[in-house]
Amino acid sequence: MSLFDRLVTRFSGLESALNELDAATGDGDHGSTILKGLKAAADAETGRARFFRTVAGGASGSLFSRLIAALETVEADAMPLGAALGQAADQITQLGQAKVGDKTMLDALVPAAEAANTDPANAATAAAAAARKGADGTKALSARRGRARYVEGKGVGHLDAGAVSVAEMLDEYATWRTSA
């Protein structure tokens, strides 16, 4: 199975859980948005990121399309994982004007890129573990960006749905990479 077909399967199972996570601080459609985009990306021959963005729509579509582009690149072995994730993190930083600690997807993505660069031999599993740890850590954070910023309590006590999605995507990538 291709990486993107696997991601579709995985996020089909996660859709409602991610929607619920998002509902705590946002409009509760994050899982559906990502799944919609992933299906379009999986159906595309090339330029998966653009299809993802168009179909997913909204700000999440623009932000996650940069990670999709990175996954498309490493799927084709066109760049080392750490470099690809680092580039995506830089672009997402510019788009969202966010940084690590703001309770966003970057809290999973930035440590994942660093872990992959530190341990290139086991880049995929190192990135997945770091992303998971980062996503778990968003529970304690108060939001400086994204929807949770406008919610009373700024989302403290809730995982950031975007960070969880990053962790899930990189976990699936690691599984695909080690099984391939």
Partner 1 sequence: MKKLFNAADRMADDMIDGFVAAYAPVVVRGAHPRVVRRRHPKPRDEKVALVIGNGSGHEPIAMGFVGEGLLDANVVGDVFAAPSADLILEGIREVTGEAGAVLLISRHEGDVINGQAAVMDALDEGLKVRPLLMYDDISSAPKGEEEERRGAAGTIFIYKILGAAAETGMALDDLVALGEDVRARTRTLGAAIAPGVSPLTGQPMFALPDDEIFIGMGVHGEPGVARRKIGPVGDLVGFMMDELLADRPIEAGTPTVALINGSGGTTRMELLTVYREVAAILDARGVPTTSPVIGSLSTTQETAGFSISLLTATPSMLALWEAPQASPDFPRIYGAGAGR
Applying CB under 8 A, among 91, 117, 142, 175 the residue interacting with partner 1 is 91
Which C-beta is closer to partner 1: that of 16 or that of 54? 54
47-86 residues in contact with partner 1 (CB under 8 A) are 50, 53-54, 57-59, 61-63, 65
**3-state DSSP of 80-140:** CHHHHHHHHHHHHHHHHCCCCCCCCCHHHHHHHHHHHHHCHHHHHHHHHHHHHHHHHHHHH
Looking up tokens 């788009």 gives: 95
Q: Please identify, among the stretches 12-20, 28-36, 144-152, 155-163, the one whose residues bind partner 1 according to the rule CB under 8 A.
A: 144-152
Those residues whose C-beta lies under 8 Å from the C-beta of residue 36, and which sit 6 or more positions away, are 55, 56
Q: How far is the CB of 60 from partner 1 (least distance, A)?
A: 9
Those residues whose C-beta lies under 8 Å from the C-beta of residue 137, and which sit 6 or more positions away, are 107
Q: How far is the CB of 32 from partner 1 (least distance, A)?
A: 17
The residues of the shown chain that bind partner 1, judged by CB under 8 A, are 50, 53-54, 57-59, 61-63, 65, 91, 94-97, 145-146, 150
